[in-house]
Chains A and B, each alone.
Chain A
Amino acid sequence: MPLKGNLRDFSTTNLLNLINLAKKTGTLIIDGPGQGAQMSFRNGKLIYAAMGHEDGNLAAILRKSGRLTDEQVKALRARAATASDKELGLLLINAGYVNQGDIINSLRSHMLEVVYRLFTWVEGLFRFEPAIMPGDDKITVPIELENVIIEGSRRMQEWAHLAEELPNLDMALKFTDRPTANIRNMSLSVEEWKVVSYIKPTNSMRAIARATSLSDLEIRRIVYGLLQAGLVEIVRPEGAPPPRPAAARPGARPVPPPDPKQQVSVVTKLIARIRSL
């Protein structure tokens, strides 16, 4: 029977917990907004993860982790373009570029990065395919899910905190009139500079995230930092209507529990009657 649904209703944490507890084997395929991802599991352990649009071959992963230089990757692509990840791994070990530990650690970091990004997805159709597993050419690294779930939950808490601090991404930003820090003297990352370049009262945070290809978590994290530094303030986008207050829900009235002792014979009668139907 299928395990499928939407992350909106059944989160990545829930899914990994289920796969871990049920010790499932197969591949979880997620079609998120704008991109896809897949994670494979054996007996409830994560063994492979890939983000749809990204270059997930071993050479690219080793370059990203700093084990190979751009030149080395270029040379590998020229000489061993058709080699599988396993063949490439052996080639690199034999050539003395990396050792087995480097490969496993790089793959592990890559897989965890993919999975932790999935924790921030709040929308996306998923399905679990027990018959699909990574190809024989792929190197799999078994990772226990408990720690992944704990770390993912921690990141979710960060996400929840940031969502509480910045609940509405449809609001815009503007630079403060008298900033407490000079932006030119600050050490900003490339992503932060990209966000800064889009800040003006007509651009909502959601629009900035879209323009800079940042997730909701990433844009919130950057904006939160800029807010804390006193560089920007939140404003309603020009021309937007004022927000409506949420309706309050009345509290529940407690109901006294029934007296079970007087009802044993009633329940016995009910059981007999329903059995006879």
Chain B
Amino acid sequence: MQAVKMVVTGPFNSGKTQFIQAISEIDVVSTERKISSDAEKVKDNTTVAMDFGRITVDDELILYLFGTPGQKRFDFMWEILSEGMLGFVVMVDSTRPETFREAKSILETFRAYAPTPYVVAANKQDHPEAWELDDLRIALRLDPAIKLLPCVATDREKVKSVLLELLYSILAEMEKS
């Protein structure tokens, strides 16, 4: 049995857990705790170690999806989770520009851990306050070659499409090398 993994990362409350929940065939194994910091009390719980989802391909292959903790103080987990990943998804909450800088910083950090392909998922694109993709690309200083994809983390089809785009990028990278 071979297991491969992809990582879903991004700032606090960007929708990583929902993203994995939307596609995983098992109930997501979350390590969530009540939020203790007043500054981060935009939701009740947050991931402190990782989220864990699974997609079985066949008898010999399983894809694991790991969601990283979003709060800065748990960033020691990021490097552990990034080891051996096929690629990663950076989730960005399109409605919260205050998190864009952090999203860019997380992206750079993961790029430094492993030079694997990645895509950026602009979450909450169904929200009226969401920034447009073109504006987000400039705000995040993303190269035109980087895929910036519209996403709604609670919508399975949108999540599928983000994962497929990541896999296409991984395949293209492999064929190139």
What is A's interface to B at a CB cutoff of 8 Å?
1-6, 8-10, 14, 17-18, 21-22, 250, 252-255, 257-258, 260-261, 263-264, 266-271, 273-275, 277
Contacts and interface: CB of A to CB of B under 8 A. Distances in A.
Contacts, number: 110
B55 A18 contact: no
Contacts of A8: 98
Given A257-B115, A267-B86, A273-B55, 15 more contacts: A3-B135, A6-B98, A21-B138, A255-B113, A258-B85, A258-B116, A260-B177, A261-B177, A263-B174, A266-B4, A269-B58, A271-B164, A274-B163, A274-B164, A275-B164
B171 A18 contact: no
Contact of A261 (B86, B99, B113, B174): B174
Interface in B101-128: 101, 109, 112-116, 128
B97 A4 contact: yes
A21 B4 CA distance: 40
Given A267-B167, A271-B168, A9 B55 contact: no
B23 interface: yes
A274 B167 CA distance: 10
Contact of A260 (B55, B160, B174): B174
Nearest to A17: B138
B18 to A, nearest CB: 16
A21 B100 CA distance: 18
A22 B57 contact: no
Contacts of A4: 97, 129
Contact of B130 (A1, A10, A260): A1
B139 interface: yes
A122 to B, nearest CB: 13
Q: Which of B82, B109, B173, B174 has the most CB of A within 10 A?
A: B174
Interface residues of B, number: 47
A24 to B, nearest CB: 9
B156 interface: yes
Contacts of A257: 114-116
Contacts of B97: 4-6, 9-10
B82 A5 contact: no
Given A264-B175, A267-B167, A271-B168, A1 B160 contact: no
Contacts of B160: 274-275, 277
B174 A267 contact: yes
Interface string B43-56: 00000000000010
B131 interface: yes
A275 B61 CA distance: 16
A4 B55 CA distance: 38
Which of A3, A14, A17, A270 is most buried by chain B, counting CB atoms within 10 A of its CB?
Answer: A270
B61 A269 contact: yes
Nearest to B136: A18
Nearest to A260: B174
A32 to B, nearest CB: 16
26 contacts: A3-B135, A9-B97, A9-B99, A10-B101, A18-B138, A18-B139, A21-B138, A252-B112, A253-B79, A254-B113, A255-B84, A258-B84, A263-B4, A263-B170, A264-B171, A266-B2, A267-B86, A267-B171, A270-B57, A270-B167, A271-B171, A273-B58, A274-B55, A274-B167, A275-B160, A277-B23
